[in-house]
């Protein structure tokens, strides 16, 4: 199998942590300068939609958009309406001038911890966890979190399975809800710590859905909000963790043969390979992306550093540049390629795009990352 015979058949567009407000052009509030409570930046949102429309690629290659949680900051009905219009609509109106939305009616979404706060006082939502209205707000606007997906329970849309069959290899996408902290031990303060939890019932349902897959060349991909792992520079030691990642979620996904897990939540992107404790299982790649549109504030010195060409910086400046660039708004594109005549392995190439505040646009990393080839499931 030579690289020249590998053909791209699917592109996955990955956004996360959009943090939409009640309106497209939000007014300043007391939370506008509180870290973690900011809402979306309209200028960045416009730039993101422009970049994704320009990044359509060859017309013969199918694309699918995945949004891994925190669609809103406060989980209100108006904020979900904003997120729905932006993700699945064509035109965003209601401000000084209309602009093009992402126009992805088939987009797959999952909730994040912010989406579970719901029309209530912020302090109450933070301390007591998700109010009863929160999940109702999400389901009101995203009653089909992934159109054409299947789930096992009519009253519970998660987990869901979505078959993306656009080429020789079918990509099975599993949407998992990691906001079930109300089912974890000591749930009262879990939301204020931004922690996540996936119930054992969800994991059993994922395994049951895996057994419904067609016998065809395929790979499995999980999408959830909280990361299954953290880079050494990104992990906060006491906040924002997925409580049962190591004990239950990771072992289950690895045992079931998942190859990729897309996530967000930390607002800093990284890619990490997780080897299974049982060496008979293939490694799992955790791909965490930064915030797509939440307002990010840079000091004048940081803006000046970002404006400099990376290759012109000295080693110390390059390290500083990388640290600042990691905080920028970001989205990713994953190109799935295989040999049409022998689809035994899958090549995934990761293209990262970060928002440049100087250019007021998203710019691509000129050096995409190619993951080691993934063995396709045929049994």
> Whole-model pTM?
0.93
Say which residues have a Cβ less than 8 Å from residue 227's Cβ, sequence separation at least 6. Answer: 242, 245, 263, 264, 265, 266, 286, 288
Residue 102, class by beta-carbon neighbours within 10 Å (0-12 exposed, 13-18 middle, 19+ buried)? buried
* pLDDT for res 102: 93
Task: List pLDDT tens digits, range 344-356.
Answer: 999 999 999 999 8
Tell me the domain boundaries of the chain: 3-294+329-375
* pLDDT for res 26: 86
- Band of the pLDDT at 146, cuts 50, 70, 90? very high
Report how far residue 137's alpha carbon sits from residue 81's, in angstroms, rounded to the nearest whole number. Answer: 10
**Cα 295 off chain centre by:** 17
Report how far residue 162's alpha carbon sits from residue 149's, in angstroms, rounded to the nearest whole number. Answer: 4
Structurally, at CATH architecture level, domain 3-294+329-375 sits in: 4-Layer Sandwich (3.60)
* pLDDT for res 299: 87
Report how far residue 323's alpha carbon sits from residue 336's, in angstroms, rounded to the nearest whole number. Answer: 29
Whose tokens are 């079930």? That residue is: 180
Q: Residue 286 in 3-state DSSP?
A: strand
pLDDT-above-90 percentage for the chain? 55
For the chain, counts of helices (H) and of strands (E): 8, 16
Inter-residue contact 290 to 326 (CB < 8 Å): yes
**Cα 211 off chain centre by:** 25
* pLDDT for res 367: 83
| 287 sits in which H/E element | strand 284-288
* pLDDT for res 124: 55
Asked if pLDDT for residue 121 goes beyond 70, the answer is no
CA-nearest of 354, 365, 338 to 61 is 338
Cα–Cα distances (Å) from 9 to 30, 54, 60, 335, 352, in that order, read 47, 18, 8, 8, 19
Q: Tally Cβ neighbours within 10 Å of residue 18.
A: 30
* pLDDT for res 58: 59
Q: Which residues pair with 67 in a beta bridge?
A: 15, 109
What is the pLDDT averaged over residues 19-29? 86
Asked if pLDDT for residue 310 goes beyond 70, the answer is yes
Query: Which of 130-144, 161-175, 225-239, 315-329 has the largest mean confidence?
Result: 161-175
* pLDDT for res 81: 94
Q: Residue 210 in 3-state DSSP?
A: helix
Report how far residue 47's alpha carbon sits from residue 303's, in angstroms, rounded to the nearest whole number. Answer: 18
CA-nearest of 137, 130, 138, 126 to 34 is 126
Tokens encoding 129: 């966890």
Residue that wins the pLDDT comparison between 130 and 171: 171
């Amino acid at each position: 199998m030579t690289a020249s015979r590998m053909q791209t058949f699917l592109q996955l567009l990955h956004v996360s942590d959009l943090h939409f407000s009640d309106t497209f052009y939000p007014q300043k509030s007391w939370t506008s300068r509180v870290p973690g409570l900011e809402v979306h930046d309209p200028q960045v949102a416009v730039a993101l939609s422009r970049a994704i429309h320009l990044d359509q690629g060859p017309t013969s290659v199918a694309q699918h958009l995945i949004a891994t949680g925190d669609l809103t900051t406060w989980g209100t009905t108006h904020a979900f309406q904003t997120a729905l219009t932006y993700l699945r609509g064509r035109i965003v109106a209601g401000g000084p001038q209309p602009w093009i939305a992402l126009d992805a009616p088939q987009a797959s979404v999952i909730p994040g911890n912010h989406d579970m706060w719901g029309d209530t006082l912020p302090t109450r939502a933070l301390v007591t966890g998700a109010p009863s209205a929160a999940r109702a707000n999400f389901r009101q606007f995203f009653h089909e979190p992934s159109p054409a997906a299947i789930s096992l329970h009519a009253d519970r849309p998660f987990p869901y399975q979505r078959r993306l069959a656009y080429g020789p290899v079918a990509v099975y996408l599993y949407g998992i809800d990691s906001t079930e902290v109300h089912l974890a031990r000591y749930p009262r303060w879990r939301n204020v710590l931004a922690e996540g939890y996936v119930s054992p019932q969800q994991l059993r349902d994922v395994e049951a859905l895996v057994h419904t897959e067609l016998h065809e060349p395929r790979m499995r991909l999980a999408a959830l909000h909280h990361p299954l792992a953290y880079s050494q520079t990104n992990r906060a030691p006491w906040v924002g963790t997925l409580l049962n990642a190591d004990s239950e979620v990771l072992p289950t996904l690895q045992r079931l043969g998942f190859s990729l897990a897309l996530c967000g939540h930390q607002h800093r992107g990284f890619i990490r390979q997780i080897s299974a404790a049982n060496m008979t299982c293939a490694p799992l790649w955790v791909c965490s992306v930064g915030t797509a549109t939440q307002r990010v504030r840079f000091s004048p010195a940081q803006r000046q550093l970002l404006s400099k060409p990376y290759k012109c910086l000295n080693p110390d400046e390059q390290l500083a540049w990388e640290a600042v660039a990691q905080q920028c708004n970001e989205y990713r594109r994953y190109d799935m390629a295989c040999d049409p005549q022998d689809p035994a392995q899958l090549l995934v190439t990761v293209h990262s795009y970060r928002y440049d505040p100087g250019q007021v646009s998203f710019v691509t990393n000129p050096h995409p990352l190619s993951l080691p080839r993934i063995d396709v499931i045929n049994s």
